[in-house]
Chain A
Amino acid sequence: MADQIKLTIWRYNPDNGPDNRPDKGDEYRPQTFTIPYQKDWSILDALNHIKAEVDGSLSYRWSCRMAICGSCGMMVNGTPRLTCSTYLNEFHPNEITLEPLANFPIIKDLVVDLTDFMDKLRSVKPWIIRENKKDDEDTSSEYLQTPAQMESYYQQSLCINCTLCYAACPAYGLHSDFLGPAAIALTYRYNNDSRDQGREDRRKVVAAENGVWKCPVVGDCTEVCPKHVDPSAAIQRTKVNSAVSWFFSFLKGGKGE
C-alpha cells in the first residue's frame, strides 16, 4: 500500500443547506481525511487534493501559493502557519491537525472573519500624510529618501496581512478590541517613513486604551511572522515613543494627552 498521511480538519458550517439537514448542522467538529502521502506536497496541495478529489464542500482560502498573498494561514498542529509553504514531510508519518486561525470568529470550515482586522488596518491611517495636501499630486519629482532612511521602516513594510500574529496573540484572543500586532507594525512603518508627517494623527489611535498598552509582551507575534516583520519590537518601540512624547507634553504643561 502506498504511503499515506492523516489530516484532521476542524470544520464548521453555519447553515444546514437547502434541505435543512440537521446532520449538516453548525457544530464545530473534526473530520479526518487519509490521503496519499507525497513528500513534496505543501499542506495547501493536500487541501486542494481533498477539495478536488474527496470532498468538494471543504472551504479555505488560498491564491498565490508562493507565500506572498497572505491568504492561506491556518493553525497547523496548534501553531499559525502559511499552509502553502508548510510541507507534509515536516510531519509525516505523524498526523496533521488543521484548525482555522485562532482568535478569529469562524465563517465556514477554515475560513475566518477578517472584518475586524480590516477595520483596524484602516483605523491607523496607513497612507502618507502630508501637512500640505497638494504634495501627493505633484508628479514632477520624487521625494528624496536615502537607503538609510528607508532602512528605518523597511522591515515593517514587509507585512503581507496574513494575520498569523493575531492568531498567536493572547491579548487579542482575550480582548478583541486590541489593535493588534500587524496594525501597530503598520503604524510604525508610516511613522518612520521620512516622507510622512502623520505621526500625531496616528498617535491618538496607537496610544489609546486599545493600542500599544494592551500588549503584554508575549512576543509570539514575532515568532510566527513569516515575513520577519517583528511586530513585537514595533509595539514596544511605539510604547517608548509615546511615553516619551507624553512626558514632554506633560512637562510643557499640557494635559499629557
Chain B
Amino acid sequence: MDVLSHDILIVGGGGAGLRAGIAIAHAYPSLKTAVISKVYPMRSHTVAAEGGCAAVIKDNDNHDLHAFDTIKGSDFLADQDAVEAFVRDASKEVIQIERWGCPWNREEDGHIAVRWFGGMSQKRTLHAADKTGFHLLHALFQTSLKYDNLKRYDEWFVAGLLVDDGKIGGVLALNIRQGTFHILAAKAVILCTGGVGRIYAFTSNAGIKTGDGAALAYREGAPIKDMEFIQFHPSGLLKNGILITEASRGEGGYLFNKDGKRFMEQYAPSKMELAPRDIVSRSIMEEILAGRGLDGPYGSYVHLDLRHLGEAKIMEKLPMVRELCIDFAGMDPVYEPIPIRPTMHYTMGGVHTDKDGKTPLAGLYAAGEGACVSIHGGNRLGSNSLAEILVFGARAGRTAAEYARQAKPCASERLQSLAKEKMDFIQRRYIRTENGTERVGAILSDLRKTMDEKVGIYRREEGLREGIEAIQRLKERFNRIRLTQQSQVFNTELVGAMEMDNMLEVAHVVALGAFNRKESRGGHARKDYPNRDDAQFLHHSLAYQTPDGPRMEKLPVTITKWQPEERKY
C-alpha cells in the first residue's frame, strides 16, 4: 500500500478541524499538515448551526460570569479549569474569525452585536443572522484556502488509526472516489469528527454525524467520556427534528401548550423560555405526558409562537427559521405558531482530552463536538459549542504541532504491517460479505428506534436494560451484513457500513453509561432517580473497549472556585 507522509493529520473539516488546520499552517509553516474529511469541508455539520456563538466581548460582561453560567448549565460536571481557559480564549477567537471575514451582525456604530441565549446571564451570543454556523464555517474554509501548506483530502474516510506500541503512527483511509485504501502517516493525529446524532431518529443532526472519531479512538484503547449525556433541544420541527434555533426564543418567542398557556411559568419562572435546554425540553415533555400537548400525524407537540415579533424582525434576525418552516413544514411563522417537540441535538461526551486537546494515547488529540474536555459537563449551553470548536480547535492544533516538532515518525514497515492487519479486518467484516443476509439500512433504523424509545429524554432502569440488550442483538446482526455494491468507485454503501459499525459501538457506551448513572444531572434524566447525587456521581464516566463490551471507570471533576449548588432558574 502506498504511504503518504505528513507531520500532522486532522480528521474532520468542520469548524474544529479547520480551526486546528489554520492554527498550525499559520504558526508552524514548516510542518506538513493535512485535513481529511469524508465530505467537502463546507458540507460539515457546523454549517447547520443557527443561533450563535458565545463570548465575552462587551464591557458589562466578564469572564467569571460566562464561566459560572457554563458551569451551572453543565450541572457542575464541567471541569472548571477548562471552562476558565475556554471563556478567556473565546473572547479572542470570535474577534479572530471576524478578522477572517465572518459577517457578525453589527450595532449601528459598527461594533459586533450580541443577543440573549438560554442559560446565559448576559447578552453575549454573537450571531450572523440565524446562519451563524454557516458563515463561520465558510469563513474558516475560505481562509484555509489561503495556506499552500495546508493540504486537503476531501471525501476521504478514515477507517482506522494506526497505533504502534501506544503511539500514533498515522491513519488508514479510504479514498471514497477511487475506492482505494491508503496509509496516511503522521506523527500526530487530531480527531475533529463531530458528534453521534445519527443514532437517534428524531434529531437535528446530519447524516454524517456518526461518531466515527469516538469509535476510532475507543477501538485503539483511548477512553471516551460522558457519553450518556445527550442534549435534547426543545425545538425540533415536526416531522423529522430539523432544528428551529434557540435564538427564536432569544429574540422573544413564546412556548404555548394546547390550552394556550405559557407553561414555562411553572417550570422556570425567572428565565421562562430562556432556561437551559435540558430544562425546557423536559418541561415540554411534561406537558405532552400530562396530555396538554397538541396532536397530529407526527405525534404530540407544543407551539413555538413568533407571530408577535412581526415580519420585519423575523426577516432580520430569524430568516432561516422562516425558510425552514416554509420548506420543511409548509407553514409560515409570521402567521402561524410553529409545531415543535424536543429533538436529539448534541453529544456532550466524546474522546477524553485535557484542556489542550491531548488524549491519553501519545500523539492523539481531539477537539470539537467529538471530543470531551469537558466544558459542557451534563448539559451544554446553547452557543457555547461554536465557541468551543474555535477555542479547542486552535488549542489542540498548537499542542499537536509542538508534539509533532519533536516526535519521531513511525517506521514505514511497521505502518505497512499495521495497515495490513486493519485491511484484512475490513475485507472480512465489510467487503467480503457474500454469505451475509442482514441489510445495514434495517439495522440502522432499528438502532435509531431503540435509542429514541429507550435512551431518550427520560430514562428508566428497565428501558435502559432493554436498550442495551437490543444494541447487543444489533451488533450480532451486524456480524452478518451483506453489501450489494460491487463497484469500488464512490461506494457509499461501504462507507455506510463502516459508519454503522461505529454507531453501534458508541450507542452501546451511551446506553451503558446511562444505565450506570443512577441520578439525574443535566441532559441525563432518570425517572427512577430524579435527583442529582453529588455524593456518588460527581464524576465523569470513562469507557474503555473490551471484547465483552465497554468497561466503565470514574474520573473526578476538577473544581476551582465554584462549589456545586442546587441548579434553579
Direct contact of A and B (CB under 8 A): yes
Give chain A's interface residues, CB within 8 Å of chain B: 13-19, 21, 24, 40, 51-53, 55-57, 59-71, 85, 107-109, 111, 114, 118, 121-122, 125-128, 135-147, 149-150, 153-154, 157-158, 160-161, 186, 190, 193, 195-196
Contact with A along B449-477 (1 / 0, CB 8 A): 00000000000000000000000000000
- Taking CB atoms, residues of chain A closer than 8 Å to B208 are 63
B92, B108, B206, B486: the one contacting A57 at CB < 8 Å is B486
- Taking CB atoms, residues of chain B closer than 8 Å to A71 are 39-40, 43
Please judge, given known A-B contacts A52-B439, A64-B206, A138-B99, whether A126 and B142 are in contact too, CB under 8 Å: yes
* Alpha-carbon distance A139/B487, docked complex (angstroms): 50
Q: Name the segment of B61-69, B490-498, B512-520 touching the other chain.
A: B490-498
Task: Report yes or no: B484 in contact with A56, Cβ–Cβ below 8 A.
Answer: yes
Task: Report yes or no: B441 in contact with A193, Cβ–Cβ below 8 A.
Answer: no
Q: Which residue of B lies closest to A60 (CB)?
A: B492
* Alpha-carbon distance A195/B106, docked complex (angstroms): 14
Please judge, given known A-B contacts A127-B142, A143-B99, whether A53 and B206 are in contact too, CB under 8 Å: no
Task: Report yes or no: B99 in contact with A63, Cβ–Cβ below 8 A.
Answer: no
Instruction: Tell me the count of chain B residues lying within 8 A, CB to CB, of chain A.
Output: 65
Q: Name the segment of B307-315, B321-329, B352-360, B364-372 touching the other chain.
A: B321-329
- Taking CB atoms, residues of chain B closer than 8 Å to A16 are 486-487
Task: Report yes or no: A136 in contact with B99, Cβ–Cβ below 8 A.
Answer: yes
- Taking CB atoms, residues of chain A closer than 8 Å to B92 are 139
Task: Report yes or no: B99 in contact with A128, Cβ–Cβ below 8 A.
Answer: yes
Q: Which residue of B lies closest to A57 (CB)?
A: B485
Contact with A along B110-121 (1 / 0, CB 8 A): 111000000000
Interface positions of B from 228 to 261, Cβ below 8 Å from A: 239-240, 242-243
**B560 contacts A by Cβ under 8 Å:** no
- Taking CB atoms, residues of chain B closer than 8 Å to A18 are 486
Interface positions of B from 426 to 454, Cβ below 8 Å from A: 439-442, 444-445
User: Do most interface residues of chain A lie in helix, strand or loop, or is the interface mixed?
Assistant: loop
- List 12 extra interface pairs beyond A71-B39, A85-B327, A157-B103, CB under 8 A: A14-B487, A53-B441, A62-B207, A64-B48, A69-B47, A71-B43, A114-B40, A125-B146, A136-B100, A154-B103, A161-B40, A195-B99
Task: Report yes or no: B101 in contact with A141, Cβ–Cβ below 8 A.
Answer: no
Task: Report yes or no: A146 in contact with B154, Cβ–Cβ below 8 A.
Answer: no
- Taking CB atoms, residues of chain A closer than 8 Å to B112 are 142
Within the complex, the shortest CB–CB distance from B199 to chain A, in Å, comes to 16
- Taking CB atoms, residues of chain B closer than 8 Å to A138 are 99
8 contacts between A and B (CB under 8 A): A57-B487, A59-B490, A66-B242, A66-B324, A69-B42, A138-B99, A144-B109, A196-B101
Q: Which residue of A lies closest to B26 (CB)?
A: A137
* Alpha-carbon distance A67/B95, docked complex (angstroms): 28
Task: Report yes or no: A121 in contact with B145, Cβ–Cβ below 8 A.
Answer: yes
A21, A67, A121, A128: the one contacting B101 at CB < 8 Å is A128
B134, B138, B240, B441: the one contacting A56 at CB < 8 Å is B441
Give the top 6 A-B pairs by smallest Cβ distance, nearest first: A52-B441, A17-B486, A144-B110, A57-B485, A108-B490, A56-B484
* Alpha-carbon distance A193/B101, docked complex (angstroms): 8
Task: Report yes or no: A143 in contact with B40, Cβ–Cβ below 8 A.
Answer: no
Within the complex, the shortest CB–CB distance from B222 to chain A, in Å, comes to 26
Task: Report yes or no: A139 in contact with B106, Cβ–Cβ below 8 A.
Answer: no
* Alpha-carbon distance A128/B42, docked complex (angstroms): 18
**B407 contacts A by Cβ under 8 Å:** no
- Taking CB atoms, residues of chain B closer than 8 Å to A193 are 101
Q: Which residue of B lies closest to A136 (CB)?
A: B99
Q: Which residue of B lies closest to A21 (CB)?
A: B486
Q: Which residue of A lies closest to B93 (CB)?
A: A139
- Taking CB atoms, residues of chain B closer than 8 Å to A59 are 490-492
Residue among B99, B109, B243 having the largest count of chain A Cβ atoms under 10 Å: B99
Task: Report yes or no: A111 in contact with B40, Cβ–Cβ below 8 A.
Answer: no
* Alpha-carbon distance A248/B442, docked complex (angstroms): 66
* Alpha-carbon distance A223/B154, docked complex (angstroms): 29
Task: Report yes or no: A65 in contact with B100, Cβ–Cβ below 8 A.
Answer: no
* Alpha-carbon distance A85/B40, docked complex (angstroms): 20
* Alpha-carbon distance A120/B442, docked complex (angstroms): 41
Task: Report yes or no: A17 in contact with B487, Cβ–Cβ below 8 A.
Answer: yes
